[in-house]
A and B are shown apart, each in its own frame.
Chain A
Amino acid sequence: MQATGKTLRVLLALALTAGLMLAAGCEKDPQQSSAEADTGPDVADNEQFIPILIYRTGPFAPGGSGIGGGYEDYLVLLNERDGGINGVKLVFEECETAYNTDRGVECYERLKNKGAKGAPVFHPLSTGITYALIDRATRDKIPIISLGYGRTDASDGTVFPYIFPLITNYWSQNTAKIRYIAQTEGGEDKLKGMKIVNLHLKHPYGQETIPVLNKMAEMYGFEVTHLPVPWPGIDQKSLWLQIKKIKPDWVINRNWGISCTVPLREAARIDFPRNRVLGVWWCGSEEDVVPAGDAATGYVTTNFHGVGKDYPVIQDILEHVYGQMKGNISPTRVGSVFYNRGVIHGIVTTEAIRLAQSKYGNRAIGGTEMQWALENLDITEARLIELGAGGLMAPLKTSWRDHEGGGLVRMQQWDGTKWVPLGGWIKPDAELVHGMIKESSAKYAREKGITPRTKPEDGI
């Protein structure tokens, strides 16, 4: 019986420690109080519930906290400055996924029925979680938006009614990269005989662009070598030795996390010009280049939005959100790549809610209503300027067939201290990408036993 007493004492001590730790957390950090604390998760009919899947912990936390923080800040901005959307307050609740698929599924199930009408939309912020939610969200009739990541062939709305890889996908991005190379070299005919190395992570995400690059190599007559980087890609010396031997004209850097930074140092070591290293947009944040120091100067990556604080909407956030001490991440990160990407998440989501309200009335919006709005979204340049986001993102127009809605990409270059936009928006080769998407989505439809929609009302 003595042993039990001891166990009890240890248990009590632990409970006390845990309690103290939590109590310490209760003291509000003035910079980081969250809006959810004020409103709570219980939502009335004139409040719009928005679920936030986020990862503030784990190896990819810079991306998760940056995007999630920017997304939340934009929602808080609408509440503080405009009193919500048409008088409907936005209420959100965070759920930490730690970039883990199982936890992402749990978060989805936890939040999907909250609010007056349930969750209108989810941003999984992870390709793995996006895949895991396709079946579930389609059954529950809740749209999933994967902005710049996720399942490429879901751009085909006839097979994936509830999945929206909005703005642009990986295949579009790579056609834009090749177009950028052509522009820089002075014409598409210059691509002939050129050597391009596709340095990609040995991982489904990394390999996804191999088919599209192969196709383009055939079309334009350049030579593409695919060099796989073993996960997690900390050591890439032997690969760069190979690159030195191949002597390519361009290197595509398709990595994620730490493996994005390593190529910059290695390129500096073999003196490969950094402005001929083209990064994917997940290798194009401050977090990716700052650790490489001077080696990163001149490095070019794709992006689908602007960077920096010089946009009226970001200034408004600084004034109305951080000015009121209601920000959701550290103010120093406002205007960074991941942060602005989060603001884009906010703009796309709230514009869709606004559109749904114009059809269904100024109240909370549910999943199917949101699905309609996302298929009829038309964010014009004029509207973007109205929102204070002119130049921050490209115009977006979706349809029930096209769940991508634009695909415009722009380049940015690291000048040693900040990202500088390089040229205007580049249009991807929609025709080529469209064919491949159709082929891939047809396979999905066949295996899942789905009949593709022939009109917008099908299967909704």
Chain B
Amino acid sequence: MIYRESGQFASSYAKDMRMFPLLQDRWAFGALLVFAFVVIPLIANDYWLSSILTLFLIYSLSAIGLNILTGFCGQLSLGHAAFMAVGAYASYNFAVRLHTPVLVNFLLAGFVAAAVGLLFGLPSLRIKGFYLAVATLAAQFTIEWVLVSFNWFAGGSMLGAIDTPPMNIMGWDVSSNLDKYLLTLSVVVVLAIVAKNLGRSEVGRSWRAIRDLDVAAEIMGIRLFPYKLLAFMVSSFYAGVAGALYAFCYLGSLEVTAFELAVSFRLLGMIIIGGLGTILGSFLGAGFIVLLPILISQAIVFLHISGASDFLANAELMIFGGLIILFLIVEPYGLARLWQTIKEKLRLWPFPY
């Protein structure tokens, strides 16, 4: 009834190629932005801003990066967290050694991570599938090893930890939880829009062709070499920026263990549950993996469910595991697909056939 495209005609190519062809979607997107930029700062308290929303956005950004590589281009990676580590350490070094402005810093962190990603993407030209996954696992171990072994990367710290300096963007002192949330949100929104459009561009179509069948793509004239490497670079760029945000806007002081292998797996879980090859899925998946366990443990407290504390601690894991299985059974293509289905149903509502 409300959600349908009848009466909306694209009268120019530019209009036809819009990110959201439907008026309703554009309104919804605008409303979402207003909600995130205006309403949330008004209603959210410190707890939400500092421990949930910022973290959720950072993981979403990193998941978008992994989704570009795995979801768009079909290259499995088990070392995504390591590229976050590269970004975090790079941004720290730029900030402390060269005193570059914060935003430039994040950008440079992304480029350094992209360069490292390029290096570890090279094997993808020869191997694929599970074999490539193992090769990217090497990225995880190598990068962790390098960062632990040479404490030059941690500014010569005897403790191997990095401490991010205070941030200031053209007079805006980014110190409160709200400031950090807004900074993270701005970076994430810009990069998410870029990713969305990248996916719709020629590059994105080439990636998809490679994902679906690389031999066919090659026959059609898509050169695998540059496109696969580009996917690795863009993906690592996103991870790098996410890592920099994680260090600067979320933790403040950290060791390389914050980016351990388990984080790589969690990121992979996010895109699988959220939906491979979609930007929306990256957000939904990050929400699922980051927010749901907290929600479950809060619910246990809120409902005053009492019992042996070690049982309650484990109950959270059991419920969470059960929900993952449930969602994958109900919708193997991820939460984004569920949203797609809802939209299709909405078009027919209230007269489904």
Instruction: List chain A positions with a Cβ less than 8 A from chain B.
Output: 1, 7, 10-11, 14, 17-18, 21-22, 25-29, 32-34, 36-37, 40-41, 54-57, 65, 93-96, 98, 101-103, 105-106, 108-110, 113, 127-128, 131-132, 134-136, 151-153, 202-205, 207-208, 211, 328-329, 436, 439-440, 443-444, 447-449
Task: Please report which residues of chain B, range 241-291, place their CB below 8 angstroms from some CB of chain A when the two chains form the complex.
Answer: 250-258, 290
Known: A102-B55, A109-B51. A208 touches B252 (CB 8 A): no
Tell me whether A26 and B306 are in contact (CB under 8 A): yes
Contact of B315 among A22, A37, A105 (CB under 8 A): A22
Residue of B nearest to A55 (CB): B313
Question: Which of A21, A37, A447 gathers the greatest number of chain B CB atoms within 10 Å?
Answer: A447
Known: A10-B329, A204-B256, A447-B155. A27 touches B161 (CB 8 A): no
Would you call the interface of chain A mostly helix, strand, loop, or mixed? helix
Tell me whether A96 and B253 are in contact (CB under 8 A): no
One of B64-72, B181-189, B210-218, B297-305 contacting the partner: B297-305
Nearest chain A CB to B68 CB, angstrom units: 23
Instruction: List chain B positions with a Cβ less than 8 A from chain A.
Output: 46-47, 50-52, 55, 96, 145, 148-149, 151, 155-161, 163-166, 250-258, 290, 293-294, 297-298, 300-301, 304-319, 322-323, 326, 329-330, 352
Tell me whether A202 and B160 are in contact (CB under 8 A): no
Known: A18-B322, A101-B258, A448-B163. A202 touches B294 (CB 8 A): no
Question: Which of A32, A105, A151, A204 gathers the greatest number of chain B CB atoms within 10 Å?
Answer: A204
Residues of chain B lying within 8 A (CB to CB) of residue A94: 309
Residues of chain A lying within 8 A (CB to CB) of residue B301: 41, 93
List 10 A-B pairs, minimum CB-CB distance, nearest first. A135-B252, A204-B160, A109-B51, A25-B307, A37-B306, A56-B313, A32-B308, A204-B255, A96-B313, A56-B310
A151 to B253, CA, bound (A): 10
Tell me whether B315 and A25 are in contact (CB under 8 A): yes
Please list 28 pairs of residues, one from A and one from B, whose beta carbons are closer than 8 Å in the complex, sorted by A's number. Answer: A21-B315, A22-B315, A28-B306, A28-B307, A29-B307, A32-B308, A34-B308, A54-B313, A56-B310, A57-B317, A94-B309, A96-B316, A102-B55, A103-B293, A109-B51, A135-B251, A136-B50, A151-B253, A202-B148, A208-B158, A208-B160, A211-B158, A439-B158, A440-B159, A447-B96, A447-B163, A447-B165, A448-B166
Known: A109-B51, A443-B155. A448 touches B165 (CB 8 A): yes
Residues of chain B lying within 8 A (CB to CB) of residue A153: 158-159
Nearest chain A CB to B345 CB, angstrom units: 9
Nearest chain A CB to B29 CB, angstrom units: 27
Residue of B nearest to A209 (CB): B158
Tell me whether B305 and A26 are in contact (CB under 8 A): yes
Residues of chain B lying within 8 A (CB to CB) of residue A29: 307-308, 311
Contact of A132 among B166, B252, B326 (CB under 8 A): B252
Residue of A nearest to B310 (CB): A56
Known: A17-B322, A103-B293. A134 touches B253 (CB 8 A): yes
Given contacts A136-B50, A443-B155, 14 further A-B contacts (CB under 8 A): A25-B312, A33-B306, A56-B309, A57-B314, A95-B297, A96-B316, A110-B51, A131-B161, A132-B253, A135-B251, A135-B252, A151-B161, A202-B148, A202-B149
Residues of chain B lying within 8 A (CB to CB) of residue A93: 301
Nearest chain A CB to B305 CB, angstrom units: 6
Question: Which of A22, A65, A102, A106 gathers the greatest number of chain B CB atoms within 10 Å?
Answer: A102
Known: A106-B51, A109-B51. A26 touches B314 (CB 8 A): no
Residue of A nearest to B322 (CB): A14
Nearest chain B CB to A361 CB, angstrom units: 28
A95 to B316, CA, bound (A): 12
Residue of A nearest to B254 (CB): A131
A105 to B250, CA, bound (A): 9
Residues of chain A lying within 8 A (CB to CB) of residue B323: 14
Residues of chain B lying within 8 A (CB to CB) of residue A132: 251-254, 258
Tell me whether B161 and A204 are in contact (CB under 8 A): yes
A203 to B160, CA, bound (A): 9
Known: A440-B159, A449-B166. A207 touches B309 (CB 8 A): no
Tell me whether A65 and B160 are in contact (CB under 8 A): no
Tell me whether A26 and B313 are in contact (CB under 8 A): no
Residues of chain A lying within 8 A (CB to CB) of residue B300: 22
Nearest chain A CB to B113 CB, angstrom units: 20
Tell me whether B252 and A25 are in contact (CB under 8 A): no
Tell me whether B257 and A204 are in contact (CB under 8 A): yes
Nearest chain A CB to B174 CB, angstrom units: 13
A36 to B158, CA, bound (A): 41
Tell me whether A21 and B318 are in contact (CB under 8 A): yes
Residue of A nearest to B92 (CB): A447
Residues of chain B lying within 8 A (CB to CB) of residue A26: 305-307
A1 to B293, CA, bound (A): 31
Known: A25-B307, A37-B306, A136-B252. A443 touches B156 (CB 8 A): yes
Residue of B nearest to A18 (CB): B319
A20 to B255, CA, bound (A): 41
Residues of chain A lying within 8 A (CB to CB) of residue B250: 105
Contact of B160 among A96, A110, A207 (CB under 8 A): A207
Nearest chain A CB to B155 CB, angstrom units: 7
A205 to B46, CA, bound (A): 31
Contact of A131 among B149, B251, B307, B313 (CB under 8 A): B251
Tell me whether B330 and A436 are in contact (CB under 8 A): no
Residue of A nearest to B294 (CB): A106
Residues of chain A lying within 8 A (CB to CB) of residue B322: 14, 17-18
A136 to B294, CA, bound (A): 19
Residue of B nearest to A206 (CB): B148
Contact of B158 among A14, A96, A328, A440 (CB under 8 A): A440
Question: Which of B254, B307, B312 gathers the greatest number of chain A CB atoms within 10 Å?
Answer: B307
Tell me whether A109 and B253 are in contact (CB under 8 A): no
A208 to B154, CA, bound (A): 13
Residues of chain A lying within 8 A (CB to CB) of residue B316: 96
Tell me whether A449 and B315 are in contact (CB under 8 A): no
Contact of A32 among B47, B310, B317 (CB under 8 A): B310
